[in-house]
Amino acid sequence: MTKLSLPENVTNEKLIGLYKQMWLIRFFDEKVDEFFAKGLIHGTTHLAVGQEASASGPCAVLRDEDKITSTHRGHGHCIAKGADINRMMAELFGRATGYCKGKGGSMHIADVEKGNLGANGIVGGGIPLAVGSALTSSMKKLNYVTVCYFGDGATNEGSFHEALNLAAVWNLPVVFICENNQYGMSGAVKDMVKIPDIATRADSYGFPGVVVDGTDMIELMNVSNVAVERARSGQGPTLIEAKTYRWKGHSKSDAKKYRTREEEKEWRAKDSIKRFKDVLIDEGFITEEKAEELKQEAKKEIENAVAFAKEGPMPGKEDLLTDVYA
Amino acid sequence: MREITYLEAVREAMSQEMRKNEDVFILGEDIGIYGGAFGVTRGMLEEFGPERIRNTPISESAIAGTAVGSALTGMRPIMELQFSDFITIAMDQIVNQAAKLRYMYGGKGKVPMVLRTPSGSGTGAAAQHSQSLEAWVTHIPGLKVVQPSTAYDVKGLLKASMDDDNPVIFYEHKLLYKTKGDVPEEEYHIPLGQADVKREGKDVTIVATAIMVHRAQEAAEELEREGINVEVIDPRTLVPLDTETIIKSVTKTGRLVVVHEAVKRGGYGGEIASMIAESEAFDYLDAPIKRLGGAPSPVPYNPELERMHVPQKEDIVQAVKETLNRA
């Protein structure tokens, strides 16, 4: 038996699935990176390689009816909330078979029926939306929780302050997850925020703020679970700050002049997938062979997604003006 | 028929809807015990309670975003923005979120919300509490924009806006709140995108919005005494715009004067004038189109200056005569 303390709803089977999910997130973004470099997909994209745990951990403790709001760096959140990677990849290829029929692209993938209320191109733009979703849960007594993802940069937006305060005074079932990946584009968090931990900002709203190691899946699941249960039982919001790192640049054209290769190396050594694998093997959930098998399965699924995406039809002129109004 | 004020008509439309539909609620600043800055929600807290008449902190971005998020998840919020000028602070949530979510998501999800807000000058509230910024939102695909001018219209148009599955920006004019009109007690629906010919005429068409509808009618009465027969059209909704009614009228009269309170430069009057210039009515024009709008300055405080800032009855009379070469 494992010595690990885990949330009740995280079964052994789920744990193993999460390991594969983290690889799906990484391979998805690495594939997107490759295609952008080759000019096979256009526009822009923001990759979350290195941030797999902060995407997967909080979603791991959610129920199907729970909701999330995501960010411009949102492919991982989407996968963690159960999105179909085929339709995600098709969206990046601008196809009619994509999640948004090719009208949204990387920054706007949403799956409203599955509880993913959408990625967002405006930094901090999704935070008030999450509060609105939480208000629906509260007013209609639906008992679902909304998890709101945003980055360190968003915590300097007015919408962060306004929305967290409103969620607090209305005691809404929402969990705020700040993925502090150390940089808002080129702005180092240490230059943009005067306090060492963004989580302490929760003090000013009157709800708990918790700092977690954003590369530690187990800790992320446990801390998220406490926050989600707190929200579900009517005790209000929590702010979780997951300290993490994006391995890649901000978007497709980033020379990363604002940080050192040594710093990148230090963070890469804290690879969240490897850390999670080591725990799973040490605790006897999987073997090294099984881990490799799961990784290869994920790789294959991404290849399949690419094939699906490429086969899809392009939207046509007739699609330009549809969906503007309901 | 019973006479009530424009303000009472707004309140009645909301109350009747809220009695029927549990998903409808109001959120905004000071809308609870205070009854709203202009008193529109007075008494509603007592009837519907604080869960549905939700008094908020002074946080326009969060109020708007919360409305959008709740609409996206199944509620039908009415957001009261205390002064229409404050849309600047809520703009991201209206322009980048509410208006675009459905399109960006490929037609999944909808945002059935109404943003009600008082606009216009004439109250001495000066530059940051008196603007008419409706042209900004008409520019954004995904939003609908409504600007009622009478008690009857405001009730029917608000009902249609609450029934609509899209974000609707609903402009109430501060100076019209106390105006009275015949308003049926029962609910009724005025479709968005249907202009109203407030006065029929054959010589000149005036297209006017909000309080300018009343000034245009006063001008028309005065002109009638001089033998000039003016048609006054109130588009009532700017998006969607009932182009057909306006084109038909201009085709008949051959002359068009467009009047709004908003600053003329970049105002919606330009859109109406261009629409006519591009339409079949162009061939029927016997005179250049005239546009009247606010002066290119912030709204001043001094009452005389404030009056000079926006078109008055005499300006409209003058403009009509100019189109007839009778000035």
Nearest-CA distance A64 → chain B (Å): 15
Give B24 to chain A, closest Cα distance, Å.
Answer: 11
Residues B289 and B276: beta-carbon distance below 8 Å: yes
Q: What is the CATH number of the domain that holds B308?
A: 3.40.50.920
Q: Are strands B196-199 and B168-173 parallel, antiparallel or unpaired?
A: unpaired
User: Which residues on adjacent β-strands are paired with residue B214?
Assistant: none
Task: With respect to residue B190, please indicate whether it lies within any of the assigned structural domains.
Answer: no
B159 and B56 share one domain: yes
User: What tens digit of pLDDT does each residue of A266-312 get?
Assistant: 999 999 999 999 999 999 999 999 999 999 999 999 999 999 999 99
Distance from CA of B195 to the nearest CA of A (A): 20
**How many domains is chain B partitioned into structurally?**
2
Quote the tokens at residue B325.
């070469």
The reply to whether residue B57 touches residue A110, judged by beta carbons under 8 angstroms, is: no
What kind of fold does domain A12-312 have according to CATH?
Rossmann fold (3.40.50)
Domain edge (last residue) among B154, B182, B210: B182
For residues B70 and B111, is the Cβ–Cβ distance under 8 A? no
Q: B288 preceded by cis ω (within 30°)?
A: no
What pTM value is reported for the model?
0.96
Q: How far apart are CA A60 and CA A147, in angstroms?
A: 11
Task: Give the domain ranges of chain A.
Answer: 12-312
Q: State the angle between helix axes of A85-92 and A12-38 in degrees (0 to 180), rounded to the nearest 10.
A: 20
- Mark which of B159, B182, B205 sits at the end of a domain: B182
d(CA B48, CA A286): 56
pLDDT at B327: 72
Sorted by sequence, the CB contacts under 8 Å of residue A149 that are 6+ apart come out as A55, A58, A68, A69, A70, A71, A74, A77, A126, A177, A179
pLDDT score at B46: 98
- Distance (Å, whole) CA A184 – CA B101: 24
| A132 to B68: CB separation less than 8 angstroms, yes or no | yes
Distance CA B21, CA A147 (A): 28
Predicted confidence (pLDDT) per residue in A183-235, tens digit: 999 999 999 999 999 999 999 999 999 999 999 999 999 999 999 999 999 99
* Mean pLDDT (10-residue bins), chain B, 327 residues: 96 98 98 97 98 98 98 98 98 98 96 98 96 98 98 98 98 98 98 98 98 98 98 98 98 98 98 98 98 98 97 98 90
A261 Cβ neighbours under 8 A, 6+ residues apart? none
List alpha helices for chain A, DSSP H.
Answer: 12-38, 52-60, 75-80, 85-92, 126-139, 158-169, 189-192, 217-232, 261-268, 272-282, 288-311
CB contact under 8 A, B70 and A103: no
List CB contacts (< 8 A) between B97 and chain A: 120, 122, 125, 129
In angstroms, rounded to a whole number, what is the distance separating the alpha carbons of residues A79 and B144? 34
How many Å lie between the alpha carbon of A159 and the closest alpha carbon of chain B? 6
Interface residue A70 vs chain B (CB under 8 A): no
B106 vs A contacts (CB less than 8 Å):
98-104, 323
Domain end (from B182, B204, B231) = B182
Classified as helix, coil or strand, A309 is helix
Q: Read off the DSSP letter of residue A199.
A: G
Are A112 and B109 inside 8 Å of each other by CB?
yes
The chain B residue lying nearest A97, using CA atoms, is B106
Q: Do B57 and A166 touch (CB under 8 A)?
A: yes
Host domain of residue B94: 3-182
| Binary contact (B61, A122; C-beta < 8 A) | no
Report how far residue A71's alpha carbon sits from residue A119's, in angstroms, rounded to the nearest whole number. 5
Distance CA B66, CA B46 (A): 23
Residues from chain A contacting residue B93 (CB–CB below 8 Å): 125, 128-129, 159
CA distance A61 to A52: 15
In the block, tokens 């002066």 appear at B295
Answer yes or no: do B170 and B203 share one domain: no
Question: For an interface test with B, which of A95, A138, A161, A162 has the most B Cβ atoms less than 10 Å from its Cβ?
Answer: A162
- Shared-domain flag, residues B174 and B205: no
In a domain, B191, yes or no: no
* Pick from B103, B109, B166: CB nearest A103: B103
Contacts of A325 (CB under 8 A, 6+ apart): B102, B142, B144, B165, B166
Q: What are the structure tokens assigned to A132, written together?
A: 């609105």
Interface check for A141 against chain B (CB to CB < 8 A): the answer is no
Residues B43, B101 share a domain:
yes
Lookup result for tokens 């923005």: B81
What tens digit of pLDDT does each residue of B88-102 get?
999 999 999 999 999
- Which tokens hold the place of A157? 């937006």
Quick: pLDDT tens for A73-130. 999 999 999 999 999 999 999 999 999 999 999 999 999 988 999 999 999 999 999 9
Q: Are residues B279 and B319 in the same domain?
A: yes
pLDDT of residue A2: 61
What is the bridge-based pairing of β-strands B196-199 and B204-208? unpaired
> For residue B75, what is the nearest residue in chain A, using CA coordinates?
A136
Cβ neighbours of A113 in B, within 8 Å: 108
Kindly state the tokens that stand for A293. Answer: 């098998």
Q: For residue B77, which phi and psi values (nearest 5 degrees)?
A: -75, 150
Helices (H) and strands (E) in chain B, counts: 12, 14
Residues of A in contact with B25 (CB under 8 A): 139
Does residue B187 lie within any of the structural domains? no
Given an 8 Å threshold on Cβ–Cβ distance, is B66 in contact with A132? yes
B65–A128 CB contact, under 8 Å: yes
Question: Tokens representing B278?
Answer: 């591009």
**b/e sequence B65-80, b meaning 16+ C-beta within 10 Å:** bbbbbbbbbebbbbbb
The pairing of beta strand B180-182 with beta strand B3-5: antiparallel
pLDDT at A4: 84
Q: Is A311 helix (H, G, I), strand (E, B) or coil?
A: helix
Q: Name which of A121, A179, A118, A123 is nearest A156 in CA terms.
A: A123
In a domain, B188, yes or no: no
Beta bridge partners of A182: none
Residue of A nearest to B164 (CA): A326
Report yes or no on B189 lying in a domain: no
Mutate: best of B18, B66, B163, partner A, most A CBs <10 A: B66
CA angle A175, A236, A221 (to 5 degrees): 35
Do B41 and B151 fall within a single domain?
yes
Pick from A120, A139, A161, A171 the residue to mutate for testing the B interface (most B CBs within 10 Å): A139
Give the best residue of A88, A107, A123, A135 to mutate against chain B (max B CB count within 10 A): A135
C-alpha of B85 from chain center: 14
The DSSP secondary structure of A52-105, one letter per residue, reads HHHHHHHHHT--TT-EEE--SS-HHHHHHTT--HHHHHHHHTT-TTSTTTTSS-
* Burial readout B126-136 (b: 16 or more C-beta within 10 A, e: otherwise): eeebbbbbbbb
Whether B98 is in a domain gets the answer yes
Q: Smallest Cβ distance to A166: which of B66, B74, B75?
A: B66
Q: How far apart are CA B16 and CA A148, in angstroms?
A: 35
- Residue among B129, B173, B260, B309 flagged as catalytic: B129
pLDDT at A271: 97
- The answer to whether the CB of A118 falls within 8 A of the CB of B104 is yes
Angle at B299 between CA B297 and CA B301, to 5 degrees: 125
Better-scored residue on pLDDT, B214 or A252: B214
**Tokens standing for A284?**
């006897």
The angle, 0 to 180 degrees and rounded to 10, between the axes of the packed helices A126-139 and A158-169 is 10
Q: What is the DSSP string of B214-256?
A: HHHHHHHHHHHHTT--EEEEE-SEEES--HHHHHHHHHHHS-E
> Is residue A1 pLDDT above 60, yes or no?
no
Beta bridge partners of B54: B27
**Beta strands A238-243; B256-263: pairing state:** unpaired
Q: What percent of chain A has pLDDT over 70?
A: 99
B129 is catalytic: yes
